[in-house]
Amino acid sequence: MEIKAVLNAQEITKLAKKRFQEERSLDHLEGWFLAKEIQRECDEKFKGEKDCIRIARTQVEVMKNIPLHIGDYHVFAGTQDDSFARSYALINPAFTVDSFSGYCDPVAVFGDIEPIGDITQERIDALKEYNNQTPYADALRKAYDIAGDSTSEAIFFIEQVTGHLIPDVRGLLAHGTKGIKEEISRNQAKCGDDRKDYFEAMKISLDALEVLADRYAALAEEKERTSGGKDRERYRLMKDTLKKVPGEGAENLFEAIQAFILIWQTMCLEQTPNPFAFSVGNADRIFEPYRAKTNMSREVSASLFKHLLVFFNVADRSWAISQNLIVGGKSNDGKDLTNLSSYALLDAYYDMNLPQPILSVKLHKDTPKELYESLGRFFFTPGCLTPSLFNDDSLFPILEAHGVEHEDLQDYSVAGCQEPLIMGKDNGNTTNSWSIWGKSWSFA
């Protein structure tokens, strides 16, 4: 059964806007704290394992135990809420320039949660002290000690991340966790003993993704049982989809978006709290093959993409910043790659006008006039989100001159704060240190 047999585009859009208002009313985030408590238990439970295996098994335990929820307005299951604290980055309402000293305190995030329900101040203090004594915190403090007073004056600071990244999820959407596990096993069999544990950890991490899907399927089944009419059909579709993806490959746009959301949730939860700003890449190219399989209309596709965009907004201030999505562009041989999903995504962005995710667009000399016309409404509507623009004709030769393989040029995308990276192949560590030159010069 397809979504269009259950709801039309207007009904799907109405749910997306209600879902955003529901998310926007959330003024507290505790999921990351609960995940950190599970991680603390796993540190002891798996202390005899190699780090890669311990971390992967911890992912599974988090997925087994983190509280999950499907609400009345969900079309897709999944959330980023458990990956972020409400003070993330400089959008913290309490931020002042004079008090900011970077992100150099390894346990500062524990000051961002207030007691609520059974999360007492004692629990908060205990978990903070535990994390303050970890080898990770010790290593960070050693780095900051070398920097001395410069970090306290925020002349420069070192973020607790490895930089912005653009994962390539196309293989996982196409083949599912089962297919990717088979590929991992084949590569594992060919590698030396010193690398086999890393391949094993990859497979265990995919187990975590499957656990998440199974738990959401059970929640959708319960919602189906207690609902009626179109709501019951919506939850039945959700349940059936979650029983298929991401275990198996997606076969339509609805399945692809659902699989994508759970993949994203799993990646971010592994990095909680405040993961290092994954970006989507060329979303139109990721999703177009699945839209085309059933020839889904632009209007219905846009309505589904609206729910994807809502997923990227976390709580009352859309805390999950620096997650970028790009459309448009050309192939390595100069062919325009704009497709119907490009326009559907722009339609979704324009109608929802959400703070996140950041929108970028690739242009080139043969960009269709229709795409420019679609972009015009953003630039000439006061108060509307405006996309960042990137010129393929300029970037391709620059990237190739700096060592990017020709075959990878069309897969450059934009991460976080507008850094061009190769989707699935690039880790530029572009944001793990900052320097404030105005303050630096004042100390000269």
Residue 443 confidence class, pLDDT cut points 50, 70, 90: very low
pLDDT-wise least confident of 26-30, 37-41, 161-165, 296-300: 161-165
Is the separation of the CB atoms in 110 and 278 below 8 Å? Answer: no
For residue 361, the SS3 value is strand
pLDDT the model gives residue 160: 63
Q: Which of 111-120, 288-297, 429-438 has the highest mean pLDDT?
A: 288-297
pLDDT the model gives residue 140: 79
Query: 62: Cβ–Cβ under 8 A, 6 or more apart, which residues?
Result: 35, 38, 39, 208, 269, 270
pLDDT-wise least confident of 146-160, 203-217, 268-282: 146-160
134 belongs to a structural domain = no
327 belongs to a structural domain = yes
Query: 432: Cβ–Cβ under 8 A, 6 or more apart, which residues?
Result: 158, 159, 161, 162, 163
What mean pLDDT is reported for the chain? 91
> What residue type is 176 in one-letter code?
G
The radius of gyration of the chain from alpha carbons, rounded to an integer in Å, stands at: 22
- Please report, for the domain that includes residue 393, its CATH number: 3.20.70.20
- What span, in angstroms and rounded, lies between the C-alpha atoms of 350 and 377? 8
Q: Count Cα neighbours of 376 within 13 Å in the Cβ-side half-sphere.
A: 7
For residue 156, the SS3 value is strand
For 104-137, b/e burial (b = at least 16 CB within 10 A) is: bbbbebbebbeeeeebeeeebeebbebbeeeeeb
Token digits for 101?
Answer: 């000293």
> What residue type is 99 in one-letter code?
S
Which alpha helices (DSSP H) does 109-252 contain, by range?
121-132, 135-147, 149-152, 170-190, 193-226, 229-244
71-97 pLDDT, tens digit per residue, is 999 999 999 999 998 876 555 566 565
pLDDT the model gives residue 302: 98
Is the separation of the CB atoms in 173 and 256 below 8 Å? Answer: yes
Is the separation of the CB atoms in 39 and 58 below 8 Å? Answer: yes
- What span, in angstroms and rounded, lies between the C-alpha atoms of 222 and 289? 32
pLDDT-wise least confident of 94-103, 117-126, 221-230: 94-103
pLDDT-wise least confident of 299-308, 358-367, 405-414, 427-436: 427-436
141 belongs to a structural domain = no
Has residue 441 got a pLDDT over 70? no
Query: 241: Cβ–Cβ under 8 A, 6 or more apart, which residues?
Result: 254, 255, 258
222 belongs to a structural domain = yes
pLDDT the model gives residue 321: 79
Full-model pTM: 0.94
- What span, in angstroms and rounded, lies between the C-alpha atoms of 316 and 29? 10
Residue 154 confidence class, pLDDT cut points 50, 70, 90: low
Is the separation of the CB atoms in 38 and 269 below 8 Å? Answer: no
Has residue 444 got a pLDDT over 60? no
Q: Count Cα neighbours of 320 within 13 Å in the Cβ-side half-sphere.
A: 34
108 belongs to a structural domain = no
363 CB neighbour count, 10 Å cutoff: 19
Residue 419 confidence class, pLDDT cut points 50, 70, 90: confident
Split into its structural domains, the chain has a count of 1
How far does Cα 210 stand from its chain's mean position?
17
Query: 118: Cβ–Cβ under 8 A, 6 or more apart, which residues?
Result: none
319 belongs to a structural domain = yes
Domain that holds residue 349: 3-84+161-437
Strand 434-435, strand 156-157: pairing: antiparallel
126 belongs to a structural domain = no
- What span, in angstroms and rounded, lies between the C-alpha atoms of 438 and 345? 40
109 belongs to a structural domain = no
Query: 235: Cβ–Cβ under 8 A, 6 or more apart, which residues?
Result: 70, 220, 221, 223, 224, 227
